[in-house]
């Protein structure tokens, strides 16, 4: 059954985030980035946003992604996340739209990504920035509570499991996006204190 976009769902997610104890990463020289898990309504159903990255980007072209990017000097995590949301999909959000944050996720490419949870009362003004985003895709939050997902894979290059999150009828995503969304589902929708920083990325995403 789909989750209805309403004040009750908003309060549940905000409450679980407020009670969530964040993992503190060890000191490391990682570049800091922020992404948004943006929740909004489509025909009354609560959806989250994924984008398809533009095909001409130098890194990870054409892949599924959450709106986000590197934190500029002097920016907070939230400032950067909301700026990237506006730059990539034209949604204007304020600090009052932010419900909280999840654990930072360290990537193989040298980034520490902090997910910011954003609640939008409308998604009508979404427009993809063609320089960064090929298309925008709202998915029902119930995609993150599927009994058949995620799948954890073993690879010879690492002793950590690779996470594969199923998406729609015949697609899937990997970490870091899959790790972020998996933790969102576990913490915000199921009320669990699940950690994801040791979930692995596939080898092709290590660059």
Residues 6+ positions from 147 with CB-CB distance below 8 Å: none
Q: Give the pLDDT score at 1.
A: 59
Radius of gyration of the CA atoms of the chain, in A: 16
- Mean pLDDT in runs of 10 for the chain (207 residues)? 91 98 89 97 97 71 86 97 97 98 96 97 95 94 97 96 95 96 98 97 87
Please state the separation of Cα 57 from the chain's center in Å.
19
pTM of full prediction above 0.85: yes
Answer for the pair 163, 179: CB distance below 8 angstroms, yes or no: yes
Query: What is d(CA 109, CA 197) in angstroms, rounded to the nearest whole number?
Result: 14
Going from the C-alpha of 149 to that of each of 28, 34, 134, 174, 204, the distances in angstroms are 31, 25, 26, 12, 21
Q: Give the pLDDT score at 2.
A: 72
Angle value at C-alpha 140, between 7 and 17, nearest 5 degrees: 50
Q: Give the pLDDT score at 206.
A: 81
Q: Give the pLDDT score at 54.
A: 78
Q: Give the pLDDT score at 13.
A: 98
Query: What is d(CA 202, CA 204) in angstroms, rounded to the nearest whole number?
Result: 6
């Amino acid at each position: 059954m789909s989750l209805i976009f309403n004040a009750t769902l908003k309060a549940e997610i905000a409450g679980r985030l407020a009670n969530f104890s964040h993992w503190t990463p060890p000191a490391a020289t990682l570049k800091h980035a922020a992404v948004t898990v943006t929740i909004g309504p489509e025909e009354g159903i609560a959806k989250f946003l994924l984008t398809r990255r533009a095909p001409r980007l130098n890194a990870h072209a054409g892949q599924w992604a959450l709106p986000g990017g590197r934190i500029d000097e002097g920016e907070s995590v939230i400032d950067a996340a909301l700026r990237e949301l506006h730059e990539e999909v034209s949604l204007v959000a304020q600090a009052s739209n932010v419900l909280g944050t999840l654990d930072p996720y360290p990537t193989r490419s040298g980034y520490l990504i902090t997910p910011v949870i954003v609640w939008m009362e409308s998604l009508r003004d979404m427009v993809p920035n063609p320089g960064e985003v090929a298309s925008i895709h709202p998915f029902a939050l119930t995609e993150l509570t599927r009994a058949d997902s995620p799948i954890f894979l073993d690879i010879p290059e690492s002793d950590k499991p690779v996470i594969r999150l199923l998406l729609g009828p015949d697609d899937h995503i990997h970490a870091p996006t899959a790790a972020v969304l998996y933790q969102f589902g576990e913490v915000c929708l199921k009320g669990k204190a699940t950690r994801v920083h040791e979930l692995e990325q596939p080898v092709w995403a290590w660059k």
